[in-house]
Amino acid sequence: MSESKTRAGNTTVHVALGERSYDIHIGEGLLSRAGEIVAPFLKRPLTAIVTDAHVAEAHLATLERALSAKGIRSTAIVMPPGEATKSYQHLADLCDRLLAAGIERRDRIIAFGGGVIGDLAGFAAAILRRGVDFIQIPTTLLAQVDSSVGGKTGINSPHGKNLIGAFHQPLAVISDIGLLSTLPRRELAAGYAEVAKYGLLGDKAFFEWLEGSAPAIMRGNSEALIRAIRSSCEAKARIVAEDETETGVRALLNLGHTFGHALEAATGYSQRLLHGEGVAIGMVQAFRFSERQGLCAPGAADRVAKHLKSAGLPVHASQIPGDLPPPATLLEIMRQDKKAQGGKLTFILVRDIGDAFIARDVAEHDVLDFLTGDLRQR
Ligand code: NAD
Ligand code: GLY
């Protein structure tokens, strides 16, 4: 991983993966330069843009103009917004529409949206004609700091989240912070949870910087946003370069996710709980559980909760509207999580802020006791 400064604060982070290496372009005004950035990757001046209806309404015309300014013809495929689009049905529909658009194996697809579109379009690219390359243009904070980087693609199954998928690295990532100006505040906060995650899992100094900078980031201050996205991408690039397919250290990126995914599944992947909100609640639970197990000094969980709350995030399951299933059902959902191995639950636990570790043998009764106590608290 290396990082180089370019003009006007724009910056590039390199993901070092041998022949699958790529650059993440971060900054302002990049969407209107997308044709220039994308053109060197194309074998012929034709592409398909996969997006969703919200992104299409706000930004598709700018992208299409930027491509056609460089003589690139594009077909836009507009999917419905929302987590439910990461499904078998929408995957089949998307693959057929890509084939109908004349996409051949040598062509490149553009994933233009949040994590839902990036995961779905990336997976479609991985399987279409046995593998087509793709470029990520992430449009949410969550996608700019996390899902567009690292090559995890996939869809959900009725059995759980992201259970069907492939590792398929993009050729490039183009993160224009201007895209975030149309993002609803709740979605911006959900993305912020993944920014905070990098501090919490391995970089206390970054977390401390965030404690002072969250208001500027949430206001859309360019300098603060670029720094937050750059530091997040550097952290992710470092981890992915070391462990591309999650046989080890990459699991740290799942801090808060085992708890969070269970809550997401329990709320039907609906607007009741966004992915980043589940991660926020899940990270606080991971800190509280670690404290309860005597692994982490008391006080860290409260500090994490205070910070995430200040960014507008929920920090306790009781803030999720509507009823939740009992703790035993949440535990049952955790057993289906793909991070479960040989029937044992794997959690990312913490010794301190910035010091997470992989715990592969967590006793189910400890988790059940914790959830029972935690869910009782309001
Ligand atoms: P999302 O893609 O559903 O986007 C959130 C909402 O914002 C949608 O309604 C979308 O239409 C809208 N939107 C997107 N960009 C916009 C913009 N610029 N202006 C206005 N509206 C805009 O959600 P997300 O939070 O980006 O991603 C969540 C998904 O990412 C989950 O499915 C999660 O599993 C996945 N994820 C994947 C990885 C990975 O490594 N592949 C990592 C983290 C999360
Ligand atoms: N978001 C977890 C990962 O990319 O590994």
Average confidence score pLDDT of the chain: 95
- Which among 149, 242, 129, 170 has a CA at the least distance from the CA of 20? 170
Tell me if residue 194 is catalytic: yes
Structure tokens at 224: 């603060």
Q: Which DSSP state fits 341?
A: B
Residue-level pLDDT at 376 = 83
Residue 54 is a catalytic residue: no
* pLDDT for the residue 378: 54
**Average pLDDT of the segment spanning 70-91:** 97
Least confident piece of the model among 52-66, 80-94, 150-164: 150-164
- Which ligand 2 atom sits nearest the alpha carbon of residue 250? 5
pLDDT of residue 3: 43
**What is the secondary structure of 239-294 as a DSSP string?**
HHHH-TT-SSGGGGGGTTHHHHHHHHHHTTTSTTS-HHHHHHHHHHHHHHHHHHTT
Task: Say what the pLDDT of residue 340 is.
Answer: 62
**Residue of 142, 250, 358 to test ligand 2 pocket, by largest number of atoms within 8 Å of CB:** 250
- Greater confidence, 109 or 333? 109
pLDDT at 5 over 50: no
> Could you report the per-residue pLDDT of 243-272, keeping only the tens digit for each?
999 999 999 999 999 999 999 999 988 999
Say how far apart CA 254 and CA 151 lie, in whole Å: 15
**What pLDDT is attached to residue 182?**
98
pLDDT value, residue 338 = 57
Is 254 in the active site?
Answer: yes
Q: What is the mean pLDDT of residues 214-220?
A: 97
- Res 28 pLDDT > 60: yes
C-alpha–C-alpha distance, residues 263 and 330, integer Å: 7
Q: What's the whole-model pTM score? A: 0.96
pLDDT band at 345 (very low <50, low <70, confident <90, very high): confident
Question: Does pLDDT of 8 surpass 80?
Answer: no
- Ligand number nearest CA of 161 is 1
Residue 7 has pLDDT above 70, yes or no: no
* Residue 1 pLDDT: 45
Q: Which three-class secondary structure state does DSSP give residue 97?
A: helix
Digit-coded pLDDT (tens) for 82-114? 999 999 999 999 999 999 999 999 999 999 999
pLDDT band at 297 (very low <50, low <70, confident <90, very high): very high
Given the residues 275, 288, 291, 307, the one annotated as active site: 275
Q: At what angle do helices 204-219 and 222-242 cross, to 10 degrees?
A: 140
Residue nearest to atom 2 of ligand 2 (CA): 253
Distance (angstroms) between ligand 2 centre and the Cα of 115 equals 11
**Residue 150 Cβ < 6 Å to ligand 2:** yes
Range scoring the smallest mean pLDDT among 39-48, 172-181, 296-305, 328-337: 328-337
Verify whether residue 277 is a known catalytic residue. Answer: no
